[in-house]
A and B are shown apart, each in its own frame.
Chain A
Amino acid sequence: MKRPVARPTSNEPQSVEASRVPRAFAPAKVEIAEPEFDVETDETLVAPAPRRTGWVGRLAWTAGGILVSAGLGLAADRLVRDLFAANEWLGWLGLGVLAVFLLALLLLAAREIVALRRLRVLDALKREAALATADNDAGKARRVVDSLLALYAGRPDLAQTRQTVADNLPHLFDGDAMIALTERSLMAPLDARAKALTAASARRVALVTAVSPRALVDIAFVIYESIRLAGAIAALYGARPGLFGFWRLIGAVLAHLAVTGGLVLTDGVVEQLVGQGLAAKLSARLGEGVVNGLMTVRVGIAAMRVVRPLPFETQPQPVVRDFIPELTKLTGDAVK
């Protein structure tokens, strides 16, 4: 039979709750700090690296890359040699043009990288803002607001709202209040303009569809307008995507459409049916126009959701319903 045994689980004495005594100081000794939070940028603001390709793939890409660059280098080298062989000054000219070309290429690449980064920062900002609201974390919210103010620092149209945010910020103590203030002041005007852009695009698409002679023309125009709209909205929210950034943006918009397409569809399904039915009764072409317009509206909404640097909290989410009046107005006008 074993005897009962009791042992303390930890050797350290129970720490007494550290409690500091009240004290008063002359203000001269004090370092005065209005609520100032740690403003250094966070490493986690940069999105995690995309999935790396496996070693076989990397080997193939590397080998292929070496071959192509060797080929290009050789071609350029031979071209310059040939030029020198033809005439010396022609050779120098060719060399100069080559140098300018390489420099321009380098600059272009740098710009693309910056643009891609900016898209990622917007993504990360949205995540951070959602976290700051959920945790009511004042320090995190402050960092998000500061990054946003920096992002829009060069925008003359937002000068006054930036000032509003900066004036009110020192009087707030809650993370969610800071994010709400920023969303109300900075995002609301941008939202309104993004909606106007979307509505204008949708109207154009509907009109072109209604009058175009060939279905192919419609499709081409829808694609052209969608791409233009996504780019315009991204630029509006401060993303300014380059070529590759643009591909990423389109990819994200398409992915968003694929995921939420059903949802977006159902949120305004009644209105869509009504609009479609009414318009289709008037004319088949007009009905198609409205459908294509709605497609563009969905692209616009998806682009807004993808590039907007703050989640929709105080402002209403854009829904297809908001744009129905614009489209039906157009069809109404067309019928008259």
Chain B
Amino acid sequence: MPQNPTTIVDELGIALSNLADAATGAFTPTLRLGVTGLSRSGKTIFITALVHNLLTGGRLPGFAPLAEGRFIGAKLAEYPDATIPRFAYEQHLEALSGKTPTWPESTRRISQLRIVLKFQSKNWYSGMTGPSTLNLDIVDYPGEWLLDLPLLGLSFAEWSAEALERARRPGSGKEAGPFLDLLGSIDPHKDANDPDAERLAAAFTDYLRRSREHGALSTLPPGRFLLPGDLEGSPALTFAPLPPPQQAVRSNSLHAMLEHRYEAYKDLVVRPFFRDHFARLDRQIVLVDTLRALNAGPAAVADLETALTAVLGCFRQGETNPLLRPFMRKIDRILFAATKADHVHHTSHDRLEAILNRLVANAAKRARFAGAEARPIALAGIRATREGTIVEAGETLPTIIGTPIAGEKLDGVTYDGKTEIALFPGDLPERPDSLFEDGTPVALNFLRFTPPQKLDRNANGDVVLPHIRFDRALDYLLGDWLA
């Protein structure tokens, strides 16, 4: 029986916060955009591109408020929660537009940002009072932490069973071996002691870290074991999965201690994270790095699907009863985005979207059933490549042109991060299901590219970030709030 992710006290707190928002929102409404994605799916890039494009009125022909000339401007504002660091937009932009452009480093801590948008409404009654404003709140966080959300619904026994089943799979034998050996040598029914707990936790963390390095995707919770932040070494992070008890569990046994710590982890770490940042969203974009999973093969693709379905199951999606709206906020629109669409030729975008549809099919079905709108899109927040064609042996190949990141390999060639190449990454399969089957190896190789080397500047001297369908994504997510 899955547990409820929140307690009754949390629910009260959420309802009160919503009520407070509704009261202040009578003058300036606040739109909370949930940027969701596992680690390295492009959250930071998406947010940086979003902020920059809105601040500078970038090249967004498909973003209706801007294209219709109703969008007046945007500015960064103080975020109401003073304890959380601000999203380092300026540093990220500098990294992207500097002399040697690099992608921002992967996110290691949580950060927030509020943008105030000013626009002229199309409605005659809002339009009469002059320009309207809208606060847009965004949170950036390490994608690893997202994997913790499904834990809220799992007890220690359920989580242990799931984690050990995964560790004992034939594929993960090399990474999980030391941990399983240690687990076998420790009797969980003996008296609780810290050294054993620490050794188990260390071995488990080591297994998680190694499986992330070798496999393409980390679908292994708890996420804070990999990126602990301030909590490193604290009891709440010192536990590990245990096999089901053979006898009654004594209250002072190791098993009881670890179970207690698991519950503490959920209560003190995961639940506040969920309550403060994910329980009160209005719109959601789910970023999926399909290409990295495709590179890694069928097992990684299946893992990605499982992780996405589990994570998205935690969000509150659907229609809100108009009467309950002051107390309740639900996600009424979800955009599923296959990021890094610039790493394939535009003729393959349809197939990319088909693969994305297959990956998020369960999550999308659930969202639609709840009454939320959902849509797939292939996008690139920042476009790093150009397109070209090449004729080889009488065959015309659509290629993408860009500079691969130093260390990327193809056909035994390792690139140094300076040579520009034209890459034909292989045909995406016409039938998305074939990616889940082990039998047919799909010949695909997507290289990672450096950010665009030369960026245009607009009349004000601001950098114009090239993108693919980013304007349509914005229009879908924000357009009707700016109507």
What residues make up the interface of A, taking CB atoms closer than 8 Å to B? 17-27, 29-35, 138, 164, 167-168, 171-174, 177, 180-181, 184-185, 188, 314
Quick check: A31 and B397 within 8 Å, CB to CB? no
Least CB distance from A139 to B in Å reads 11
Quick check: B422 and A24 within 8 Å, CB to CB? yes
The residue among B68, B388, B401, B445 with the most chain A CB atoms within 10 A of its own CB is B388
Beyond A26-B421, A171-B466, is A177–B390 a contact (Cβ under 8 Å)? Answer: no
Residue B326 CB within 8 A of the other chain: no
Q: Which of B59, B346, B392, B445 lies in contact with A168, CB distance below 8 A?
A: B59
Least CB distance from B380 to A in Å reads 10
- Determine the chain B residues whose CB is within 8 A of the CB of A33 once the complex forms: 387-389
Quick check: A173 and B469 within 8 Å, CB to CB? yes
- Determine the chain A residues whose CB is within 8 A of the CB of B401 once the complex forms: 27, 30, 32
The residue among A18, A23, A185 with the most chain B CB atoms within 10 A of its own CB is A23
Q: Which residue of B lies closest to A177 (CB)?
A: B62
- Determine the chain A residues whose CB is within 8 A of the CB of B426 once the complex forms: 19-22
Quick check: B399 and A30 within 8 Å, CB to CB? yes
- Determine the chain B residues whose CB is within 8 A of the CB of A32 once the complex forms: 386, 388, 401
Quick check: B472 and A177 within 8 Å, CB to CB? yes
- Determine the chain B residues whose CB is within 8 A of the CB of A27 once the complex forms: 401, 420-422
Q: Which of B390, B413, B425, B430 lies in contact with A29, CB distance below 8 A?
A: B390
Least CB distance from B431 to A in Å reads 8
Quick check: A25 and B62 within 8 Å, CB to CB? no
What residues make up the interface of B, taking CB atoms closer than 8 Å to A? 59, 61-62, 64, 67-68, 346, 349, 386-392, 395, 397, 399, 401, 410-411, 413, 419-427, 429-431, 434, 442-445, 447, 466-469, 471-472
Quick check: A23 and B387 within 8 Å, CB to CB? no
- Determine the chain B residues whose CB is within 8 A of the CB of A30 once the complex forms: 388-390, 399, 401, 422
State in angstroms the CA–CA spacing of A184 and B412 once bound together: 49
State in angstroms the CA–CA spacing of A21 and B443 once bound together: 5
Q: Which of A17, A22, A34, A172 lies in contact with B424, CB distance below 8 A?
A: A22
Q: Which residue of A lies closest to B471 (CB)?
A: A177
Quick check: A171 and B467 within 8 Å, CB to CB? yes
Quick check: B443 and A314 within 8 Å, CB to CB? no
State in angstroms the CA–CA spacing of A194 and B299 once bound together: 60
The residue among A22, A35, A177, A188 with the most chain B CB atoms within 10 A of its own CB is A22
Return 15 A-B CB contacts under 8 Å, by A number: A17-B430, A17-B431, A23-B410, A23-B411, A24-B413, A30-B399, A34-B387, A171-B466, A171-B468, A173-B469, A177-B62, A181-B61, A184-B67, A184-B68, A314-B64
Least CB distance from A132 to B in Å reads 15
Q: Which residue of A lies closest to B377 (CB)?
A: A174
State in angstroms the CA–CA spacing of A195 and B391 once bound together: 52
Beyond A181-B67, A184-B61, A314-B64, is A173–B427 a contact (Cβ under 8 Å)? Answer: no
Least CB distance from B328 to A in Å reads 33
Beyond A32-B388, A32-B401, A184-B67, is A22–B422 a contact (Cβ under 8 Å)? Answer: no
Least CB distance from A24 to B in Å reads 5
State in angstroms the CA–CA spacing of A20 and B72 once bound together: 48
Beyond A33-B387, A173-B349, A177-B62, is A20–B424 a contact (Cβ under 8 Å)? Answer: yes
Beyond A29-B390, A33-B388, A34-B386, is A181–B427 a contact (Cβ under 8 Å)? Answer: no
Least CB distance from B295 to A in Å reads 10
State in angstroms the CA–CA spacing of A138 and B387 once bound together: 15
State in angstroms the CA–CA spacing of A16 and B442 once bound together: 13
Quick check: B410 and A24 within 8 Å, CB to CB? yes
Q: Which residue of A lies closest to B442 (CB)?
A: A19
Least CB distance from B405 to A in Å reads 14
The residue among B61, B346, B397, B399 with the most chain A CB atoms within 10 A of its own CB is B61
State in angstroms the CA–CA spacing of A174 and B424 once bound together: 21
Beyond A24-B410, A27-B420, A181-B67, is A35–B387 a contact (Cβ under 8 Å)? Answer: yes
Least CB distance from B382 to A in Å reads 12
Can you add 17 more A-B contacts, CB < 8 Å, to A33-B389, A35-B346, A164-B61? A19-B429, A23-B392, A24-B413, A25-B390, A25-B392, A26-B419, A29-B390, A30-B401, A31-B389, A35-B387, A168-B59, A168-B61, A171-B61, A180-B62, A181-B62, A184-B61, A184-B64
Least CB distance from B459 to A in Å reads 12
Quick check: A24 and B421 within 8 Å, CB to CB? yes
- Determine the chain B residues whose CB is within 8 A of the CB of A185 once the complex forms: 61, 67
Q: Which residue of A lies closest to B398 (CB)?
A: A33
Beyond A19-B426, A20-B427, is A173–B346 a contact (Cβ under 8 Å)? Answer: yes
Beyond A19-B427, A171-B59, A171-B466, is A29–B443 a contact (Cβ under 8 Å)? Answer: no
- Determine the chain A residues whose CB is within 8 A of the CB of B419 once the complex forms: 26
State in angstroms the CA–CA spacing of A33 and B346 once bound together: 12
Quick check: A177 and B423 within 8 Å, CB to CB? no
Quick check: B59 and A31 within 8 Å, CB to CB? no
Quick check: B59 and A20 within 8 Å, CB to CB? no
- Determine the chain A residues whose CB is within 8 A of the CB of B61 once the complex forms: 164, 168, 171-172, 177, 180-181, 184-185
Least CB distance from A148 to B in Å reads 15
Quick check: B59 and A19 within 8 Å, CB to CB? no
Q: Which residue of A lies closest to B426 (CB)?
A: A22
Beyond A33-B388, A33-B389, is A174–B443 a contact (Cβ under 8 Å)? Answer: no
Q: Which residue of B lies closest to A169 (CB)?
A: B61
User: When A and B form their complex, which 8 residue pairs have the shortest distance between CB atoms, in order from nearest?
Assistant: A22-B445, A22-B426, A30-B422, A168-B61, A181-B61, A32-B388, A25-B422, A173-B346
State in angstroms the CA–CA spacing of A31 and B129 once bound together: 55
Q: Which of B62, B388, B442, B468 lies in contact with A31, CB distance below 8 A?
A: B388
Least CB distance from B460 to A in Å reads 16
Quick check: A20 and B387 within 8 Å, CB to CB? no
Q: Which of B387, B395, B444 lies in contact with A22, CB distance below 8 A?
A: B444
State in angstroms the CA–CA spacing of A32 and B472 once bound together: 26
Quick check: B472 and A174 within 8 Å, CB to CB? yes
- Determine the chain A residues whose CB is within 8 A of the CB of B413 once the complex forms: 24
- Determine the chain A residues whose CB is within 8 A of the CB of B443 once the complex forms: 19-22
State in angstroms the CA–CA spacing of A21 and B411 once bound together: 11
Quick check: B425 and A22 within 8 Å, CB to CB? yes
- Determine the chain A residues whose CB is within 8 A of the CB of B447 once the complex forms: 24
Q: Which of B346, B399, B472 lies in contact with A25, CB distance below 8 A?
A: B399
State in angstroms the CA–CA spacing of A109 and B469 once bound together: 48
State in angstroms the CA–CA spacing of A167 and B392 once bound together: 32
- Determine the chain A residues whose CB is within 8 A of the CB of B442 once the complex forms: 19
Quick check: A31 and B390 within 8 Å, CB to CB? yes
Q: Which residue of B lies closest to A18 (CB)?
A: B427
- Determine the chain B residues whose CB is within 8 A of the CB of A20 once the complex forms: 395, 397, 424, 426-427, 443
Q: Which of B68, B388, B410, B468 lies in contact with A173, CB distance below 8 A?
A: B468
- Determine the chain B residues whose CB is within 8 A of the CB of A172 once the complex forms: 61-62
State in angstroms the CA–CA spacing of A146 and B391 once bound together: 27
Least CB distance from A172 to B in Å reads 7
